[in-house]
Amino acid sequence: MFTNFKRILTFAINDFSRNKGMSIAAIFVLSITIMLVTGLFFFQGVTGYLTSQIKDKIDITAYFKDGTSEQDILNVRDEILTMSPNIKNIEYVSKDQALSSFNDKHKDNPVLARALQEVGSNPFLPSLNITTNGEPSQYASVANILQTSDFSKLIDKVDLAQKKDTIEKIYSITSNITLFGILLGVILIIVAMLVVFNTIKLVIENSKEEISTMRTVGASDWFIRGPFVIQGIIYGVVAFLICILLSAVIAYFLSPKVAVVLPGFDMFDYFLTNWWIFVLIQLGFGMVMGAISAIIVVKKHLEV
């Protein structure tokens, strides 16, 4: 069995090297399709970053009654964190921080500055800005906790009602972006699989007379099929090596340009952090598609 496997491997390597034109063409097409699938993964990274940035901007604010102590507010914060698993972040904003933030935001507006002086004291209330994992129902659930639990007597108001429509709109947009990404991904992966299958099919069709001769002389199905499957795998591995290098280079050089459009998103860092997924996708797609395509096409010729 080992001898047979060695022979099959030798046949595959010989066929690969003696059919240079076909092999190069097959590797080229495989590389393009693997890069397409890789591009999808980068796209998923970008959309994921975008949607999380958008969701992070959404929050509800619980305003506490004037005079509530900082310690009480921090206790409420700790309690909310234990009561709701969907909470991503709670930020405490004191009266002074609220005033300072207002002044910074409107420093070019003397009318507002004068109005504040007229009031005399700091009109702002201490608050907790609460961000959840995104779904509108989670904000409603948090608002409900704030309004019905023991510490609700400390709370002046929760601004969910004003923000509800905005939250729902934003969630709808981000969901649609994600869904679009998934649909596009599925379609492109199917297209990529068909392209790879047809490329391997063309390579093997070129050898159909050979397959017929091998059948005639009594070679077993796997003795015939084996070299083609291994050739398909070799195409996949070579295409992977080309693509992983290309992906790294493209990510490195595009990263600063992407950061201009999406500040905070480092494409090269995304590639390095997820390098094992890139390897899995590229190597897996290339090798698996190469092998499966070969098995299917040769099977057809073995049945003739």
Sole window of 11-19, 54-62, 255-263, 267-275 interacting with other proteins (rule: CB under 8 A): 11-19
| Residue 286 CA from chain centroid, whole number | 20
Q: What's the rounded Cα separation, in Å, for the pair 258 and 265?
A: 7
Q: Does 111 bind other proteins (CB under 8 A)?
A: no
Nearer to other proteins, 157 or 215 (CB): 215
- Please say which residue, 134 or 227, places its beta carbon nearer to other proteins: 227
> Judged by CB under 8 A, which of 19, 61, 94, 178 binds other proteins?
19
Strand arrangement of the beta sheet that strand 127-132 belongs to: 87-93, 127-132, 60-64, 155-158
Tell which residue, 298, 292, 304, 300, has the closest CA to residue 222.
298
Selection from 235, 222, 214 nearest residue 287 by Cα? 235
Q: Which of 82, 216, 261, 263 binds other proteins (CB under 8 A)?
A: 216
Residue with Cβ nearer other proteins (19 or 178): 19
Under the binding rule (CB under 8 A), the answer on residue 223 touching other proteins is yes
CB of 49 to other proteins, least distance (A): 50
Complete DSSP assignment for 117-142:
HHH-S--PPPEEEEEESS-HHHHHHH
Please answer whether residues 268 and 236 qualify as being in contact, where contact means their C-beta atoms are separated by less than 8 angstroms. no
**What would the x/- binding string for other proteins be over residues 167 to 206, using CB under 8 A?**
----------------------------------------
Minimum separation from the CB atom of position 221 to other proteins (A): 7
Among 212, 279, 280, 296, binds other proteins (CB under 8 A): 212
Paired strand residues for 246: none
Count of residues in contact with other proteins, rule CB under 8 A: 21
The site for other proteins (CB under 8 A) is made up of: 3-4, 7, 14-15, 18-19, 207, 209-210, 212-221, 223
